[in-house]
Structure 1
Amino acid sequence: MAAIPPVCDFGWKAPEFKLPATDGRVLSLSDIRGPKGTLIMFICNHCPYVLAVRDRIIRDARELMAMGVGVAAISSNDAVTYPRDSFENMRKVAEEENFPFPYLYDEDQSVARAYDAVCTPDFFGFNADLELQYRGRLDASRNSAGPADLRRDLFEAMKQVVETGEGPREQIPSMGCSIKWKETA
């Protein structure tokens, strides 16, 4: 069943984190942060909503990074229940897809909880002061890619954040597979 995150809580401060990346580094929010803004994306390897737009996520990330936006993707899914989302498989996907951004593993799911991530994909666009300015969709695609000429909601919003420090007031939430939470004892 599809999950939909809440609307943007403008000005909410990005929580710090320190997570292992698929390239062998351990990175913090400070390492990811860009001079013009920061985009934190919760994605995973198996979700059809992510798979449908992964090429667009990569395209938009490259363009935003060229504008001074720091970008990282985080996978928080329970890899015991969903083995395709294991750290080893994350490494393979990041390499095969040539991710231009770090792909981080949130094994204990603490970062997903701190960000109140709901689904994959779930996008958090922050300004240069790490204040939330966008929590919307990539574009109008769902679990299959929409037409190539769809409005690039995430890209346009983050471009506005780069230029003005503020995101658009009208935002359409992302939609995707729910985060696969571990069972708690």
Structure 2
Amino acid sequence: MKTTKILSAIILLVAISAFTIVPEKGYKVGDTASDFSLKNVDGEMVSLADYSKAKGFIVIFTCNSCPYSVANEDRIIALDKKYKSKGYPVIAINPNDPVVQPRDSYDRMKIRAEEKGFTFPYLFDEDQEVFPKYGATKTPHVYILNKDDGKLIVEYIGAIDDSSRDESGVSKKYVENAVDALLAGKKPSETYTRAIGCSIKTQ
């Protein structure tokens, strides 16, 4: 009986840890995001300032190893293909420490990007300085930024949609709805949703 109770408690803690909503630290909706400069899988340094014609960004913290991230890769590619030409490109960032999770090393990032044919930058937060500023806790974790009078305003934080593992089960496309609203000159109706995924790996 005691073993069963302990096992139940562990399962409950794991389930709770997979869900986050309004962050305790990092950016909140309405905050101004700062730029960064991170190495892309092609070896070039990338910053948001490089995209002078962008209206905003779909910043997604993701990785190679997390099954939630892997389940969303095709959706991330689709988001970039749909919205890059409209002014909202995807910027993917791997926040994980490869010492803790070797599958998320920079070399493995390059392999994965080529295998999947990523159409967007896949950046390495090598010093793990960017994801804490954002307040990201999961992979994947999405932040939609909108340019407003020269500033990058956080407009949405959370999940890509309402079906973290099974794309066929999607009924609400949170990111698409938010970007569509911004393109129409409106504010997103949903600004926070639960980010469901693996915890970011740090030492």
TM-score, L = length of structure 2:
0.82
Of the candidates 158, 182, 190, which is equivalent to residue 136 of structure 1? 158
Shift of the 33–5 alpha-carbon distance from structure 1 to 2, 3 Å rule, reads farther
Question: Does the alignment pair 1:179 with 2:195?
Answer: no
State the partner residue of 1:154: 175
Of the candidates 20, 23, 36, which is equivalent to residue 4 of structure 1? 20
Once superposed, what is the RMSD of the aligned Cα atoms?
A: 1.9
Following superposition, the deviation at residue 164 of structure 1 comes to 1.4
Following superposition, the deviation at residue 168 of structure 1 comes to 2.2
Following superposition, the deviation at residue 146 of structure 1 comes to 3.9
* Rg larger for: 2
Any unmatched runs of 5+ in structure 2? 1-13
Any unmatched runs of 5+ in structure 1? none
Deviations 1:86-117, CA, capped at 9 Å, x for gaps: 00000011111111110000111001111111
Following superposition, the deviation at residue 170 of structure 1 comes to 5.2
For 1:171 and 1:67, how far apart are their aligned partners in 2? 23
Following superposition, the deviation at residue 36 of structure 1 comes to 2.0
Deviations 1:101-135, CA, capped at 9 Å, x for gaps: 10000111001111111110110001122100011
Provide the identity percentage.
36
Q: How does 1:1-185 map to 2 (within 5 A)?
A: 1=14, 2-6=18-22, 9-32=28-51, 35-129=54-148, 130-142=152-164, 144-147=165-168, 150-164=171-185, 166-169=187-190, 171-182=192-203
Secondary structure (helix, strand or coil) at the match of 1:127 reads strand
1:133 is matched by which residue type in structure 2?
Answer: E
Cα pair 1:119 1:176 within 8 Å, conserved? yes
Which structure is higher in helix share? 2
Q: Which has the higher contact order (CA 8 A, sep 6+)?
A: 1
Secondary structure (helix, strand or coil) at the match of 1:161 reads helix
